[in-house]
Amino acid sequence: MWQGQEAQVDPNTFNATMSPPTILPPGVDSLRTQQRSKIRYAGFWRRFFAYCLDAIAVGIVNKAIEAVISSLAGRLSDQSGSWLDISGLVVTVVAYIVFDWFYFAGLESSAWQATLGKRALGIVVTDLDGNRISFARATGRYFAHLVSVITFLIGYLIQPFTRRRQALHDLISRTLVAEKDSVELGFGVPSASVLNGDSQRRTGLPRWGIVSLVGVMVLALGCAALSFGVVLPLHSRYEKATRTQVADTISTSFNQLIRTSPPRSGKLVLRESDLDVNNAISSGEVGVDWSSNNGILIYGFETTINAENVTLGIDGSVLYRSIPVVANGLIKFTVVEDSEANVFMGLLLSKKSFEQGLEIGINRALAGARLTPTGVTLSNGALTILVVPR
């Protein structure tokens, strides 16, 4: 334990309003300087590959989190719809952030002073004196990454050019990333500020770092509030409207088919054009044109049928593949594949809108014609529904 020396204070010059003099244990400055001089800072590529390993480790756990949440969401309702899908997405993202936070902040403030990736590459996170950091500071460092990100990654790219090889989030949190064998792990030589009970002022985040973090968090909270309060309700109403519009389109097309080509031998044959979520607004069926309270919505989706499934696509790419079946006297569609490459298109027409739109449209037309489906078969370019009179 450090033993302080008695300070000599002139009573004529010292008064109660003055700060007490800094009392340093013998040799602290030289030891701390010695400790700092031994630190070898981790280079850019070493840190980069360490992060790649961490990304793999975190990605595996995030996939497990996603699977669990998706399973729970599926059990809540077999007709989850867009609202529950989006809510599940929000919960998943929050779970990702919480896990990432505890992974990085927890391990970097642990006895390891490193995440799995950093440990594998032989580098550790320390304070400016080469000592272990607290969980609070590691948390500040984690969220300071947001500042590095919103600067178009410039916060990361400056790392090779700073004096102590610090990225922007290192500068904000006053931390270093050093080679493991150049520091002594743990809480080493204390700084003068710690010895004098002023650790918060000296070792905490600088004011500009706190302002940056608060600004980013306020922006994130504002975006979250906007999403929950405005975007999600609007999208829910929009998703319901598109489902209704798809159902109306299919029902109108199917009714016309039944009137012009009544079922023969208990069979109704639907061609691809009959299941298009298009209204033939031109000879080439370039999109859907339907009026709504929000104006005219035009899509370019095309439906194709083969011997295995019904496919919804756009511009030659697949959006959804679904299989029709008969259950309880009704036609049901189950999406067996949805393309993650078309996330934006999925927002325009969700898989539930497609599934339920087809189901409602076909079943409404069958009910109007007093027909009950008993089976379905698929072939190239056609979906055949076996029907009997009600």
Predicted confidence (pLDDT) per residue in 142-178, tens digit = 988 988 888 888 989 999 999 999 999 999 989 999 9
pLDDT at position 4 is: 45
323 beta partners: 334
pLDDT at position 284 is: 42
Q: What is the dihedral of CA 202, 204, 206, 208, to 10 degrees?
A: -160
pLDDT at position 289 is: 47
Per residue in 286-298, pLDDT (tens digit) is 344 444 444 445 5
Count the neighbouring beta carbons within 10 Å of the beta carbon of residue 262: 10
CA–CA dist 129, 142 (Å, integer)? 20
304 beta partners: 311
Per residue in 328-380, pLDDT (tens digit) is 889 998 877 665 445 556 666 777 777 888 889 889 989 988 889 999 999 99
Cα angle for residues 292, 256, 271 (degrees, 5° grid):
95
pLDDT at position 115 is: 92
Q: How confident is the model at residue 244 (pLDDT cuts 50, 70, 90)?
A: confident
For the cut 60, the answer to whether the pLDDT of residue 233 exceeds it is yes
Judged by average pLDDT, the poorest of 153-167, 204-218, 301-315 is: 204-218
Share of the chain above pLDDT 90, in %: 18
Radius of gyration from C-alpha coordinates of the chain? 32
- Structure pTM? 0.52
Task: Identify the CA nearest to 321 among candidates 306, 331, 311.
Answer: 311
Q: Do residues 321 and 354 lie in contact, with contact meaning Cβ atoms separated by under 8 Å? A: no
Count the neighbouring beta carbons within 10 Å of the beta carbon of residue 193: 15
Q: Do residues 52 and 121 lie in contact, with contact meaning Cβ atoms separated by under 8 Å? A: no
Q: H or E stretch including 295?
A: strand 295-299
Per residue in 36-71, pLDDT (tens digit) is 777 889 999 999 999 999 999 888 888 887 777 666
Look at 341 and 383; give whichever has higher pLDDT. 383
Q: Where in the chain are the domains?
A: 28-205, 258-389
The DSSP code for 272 is G
What does the block give as tokens for 341?
A: 């490459």
Judged by average pLDDT, the poorest of 76-85, 168-177, 316-325 is: 76-85
The DSSP code for 228 is I
pLDDT at position 53 is: 94
For the cut 90, the answer to whether the pLDDT of residue 120 exceeds it is yes
